[in-house]
Amino acid sequence: MLYFAILLVMSVLRLLNKQAQSYKNETGQRMNDEEYFRNVLSVYLSFLPANLPTELDNSEMITILSRNYGGSYTLIPNAIAVLEYLKRKDLILGIVSNNQTKIRQPLIDFGIDRYFDCIVLSEEVNLYKPDPKIMELACKKLKVPCKNSIYIGDHPFDVLCAHSANMSVAWFPPNRFFTVPKYIDVPEYTIHALTDLIGIL
């Protein structure tokens, strides 16, 4: 089976010293940060079980989503080496991220934008994970069926979103305390470093 990898941008970059900002994208039009995070939150809530208990109200959840958003980045270990490996295998690579247009600049700054055949960002397409339509859009752009694709994600909603789009998932938790809830299907793979992809792909 021919796979292509859609790498979640946060699986390649790690955010440091982040601070939310409001600014315009290249079209001159964009939502302010509060509206952006309200849209993300509404999608998250629509995919959660109705009886899921929460101690947070919506405004508190928006604060958590937007906390330390944006700012400076660094590549995680072996990112370039893994991207080079995947390209040598002639895999088609893409990014799907619940992110804003400004994430494109760090990709350019680190010289990794050239590895990706498609970059789909929520702010630009008005679709947000875990809505599977954002995955379907990326696959359509890449001309590869969802069923022949694998998504590398670092958030439980990445697992939910990819499975809803009929994609396999490599779960890449950001730390050992981050787990996939029981109401979300178990991912096909779990990795703890990008180099673990070499044994999968």
Using CA of residue 38, residue 126, residue 122, residue 25, what is the dihedral sign? Answer: negative
E-strand ranges in the chain read 4-7, 13-16, 72-75, 93-97, 118-121, 149-153, 168-171, 189-190
% of the chain with per-residue pLDDT over 70: 64
Q: Which residues are 16's β-sheet partners? A: 72
Q: What is the pLDDT of residues 39-78, one digit of tens each?
A: 666 666 666 666 555 555 556 655 555 554 555 678 888 9
3-state secondary structure of 15: strand
Q: What is the pLDDT of residues 142-168, one digit of tens each?
A: 999 999 999 999 888 899 999 999 999
